[in-house]
């Protein structure tokens, strides 16, 4: 409720969002959240706004190699 962020006392606020993100299904998200909860710094060499955007995600899926038909058949047998 402060106008100046320096006086908002955010360093004392609970980080409950990170606890939920530490249990996330995506391994990178859970690893980064766990590292932040431990007090470690994140080191990432790229630009997260570009690397984790929708365009990059869709390009990775579009150019992904298809699975072998043997693997798909085995998966279907397990699921049946």
Q: Which two tokens stand for residue 29?
A: 């998200």
Give dist(CA 17, CA 10) in Å, integer. Answer: 14
Taking the CB of residue 52, how many other CB atoms lie within 10 A of it? 13
Q: Which two tokens stand for residue 56?
A: 């990059």
Contact call for residues 79 and 71 (beta carbons, < 8 A) = no
pLDDT at 1: 61
Give dist(CA 60, CA 8) in Å, integer. Answer: 40
Report the alpha-carbon angle 74-79-80, nearest 5. Answer: 100
- Percentage above 70 pLDDT, the chain: 95
pLDDT digits (tens, 9 = 90+) for 14-49: 788 889 999 998 888 899 999 999 989 988 898 888
Q: Which two tokens stand for residue 7?
A: 């006086």
């Amino acid at each position: 409720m402060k106008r100046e962020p320096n006086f908002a006392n955010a360093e004392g606020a609970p980080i409950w969002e990170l606890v939920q993100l530490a249990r996330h299904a995506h391994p990178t998200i859970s690893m980064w959240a766990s590292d932040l909860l431990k007090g470690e710094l994140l080191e990432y060499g790229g630009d997260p706004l570009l690397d984790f955007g929708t365009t990059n995600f869709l390009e990775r899926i579009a150019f992904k190699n298809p699975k072998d038909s043997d693997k798909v058949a085995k998966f279907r047998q397990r699921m049946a």
